[in-house]
Amino acid sequence: MPAYRPPQPEPAGARRRKHHGHGPRLIPAPGHSQDARGEGARGDWKTAHYGRFLRIWEEYRQLREQDPSFDPVRPVIAAFTRQPFDVPEPQPLLTEPAARSIAGLFNLGYELLLWLLTRFFTNTDETGEQLDALTASAFALMGGVLAPLGRTLTRLPAGPAHPGRTAGPTFEMYYQMGNFIPARGAAWAVISERAALLAARCADAASHDAAPASLGAVAKTAAAVAARLASHVAPALRPT
């Protein structure tokens, strides 16, 4: 007689497969490598990251064959806004005020994006509407905040110490990441607070006369994301 196996608890996040609009594409595939889920060279990869990067590489190679002098990249330097605490060797730093300011906005947006994705994949008792809010906010951040800020950074000088070089996203983290708040109410309160901070900082940066033109639309997107997330937080826990 086979050994008795008690019923296993439903995996965290399983509800999104039942209620969330993007669920069918996010069902885990135990025992399969990442490429089998569309991110590698097998499976439905043509519209996944792998396929997109492959098309870019093929187009670049063709253009280089036609014109060996073709160089589509900007002279971005890999730099930070401050010396990383866990890297002993001195690192290049952005010193141009405008670049430092926008890099800070990018970092806030990137941090919020990771919070949103972490919460989505480790959700507890979120409703389908709340899961939709997490994913919609994540997509809005990627397309309406991080992408334009990243493009803007690559057009700004890095600073006098790096002549001829431009800035770029620094991907610095202000807090250690992790799912440290399993309770939904508290987790959403923290996420909403970070979204409100991002919206406020973007609005302030966009209000300056010399602000890049892209910041206006970025500020509107950040404000919309903050409002959407706050609508799912209890009034007593909402940022003020």
CA distance 44 to 240: 45
Count Cα atoms within 13 angstroms, Cβ side, for 121: 12
Query: Are residues 112 and 68 both part of a single domain?
Result: no
Q: Tell whether 112 and 198 lie within a shared domain.
A: yes
Instruction: Please report the pLDDT score of residue 238 as a whole number.
Output: 80
Residue span of the structural domain in which 154 resides = 97-237
80 neighbors 91 (Cβ within 8 angstroms): yes
Instruction: Give the largest Cα separation in the chain, rounded.
Output: 78
Average pLDDT over the chain, rounded to an integer: 85
Per-residue pLDDT reduced to its tens digit, 56-81: 999 999 999 999 999 999 999 999 99
28-50, pLDDT tens digit by residue?
444 444 444 445 556 777 888 88
pTM over 0.85: no
Say if residue 208 is in the same domain as residue 120: yes
- Looking at residue 70, its pLDDT comes to 93
> Are 48 and 150 members of one domain?
no
Q: Please indicate, yes or no, whether residues 143 and 208 belong to a single structural domain of this protein.
A: yes
Assign 3-class secondary structure to 51-67: HHHHHHHHHHHHHHHHC
Does residue 27 lie within any of the structural domains?
Answer: no
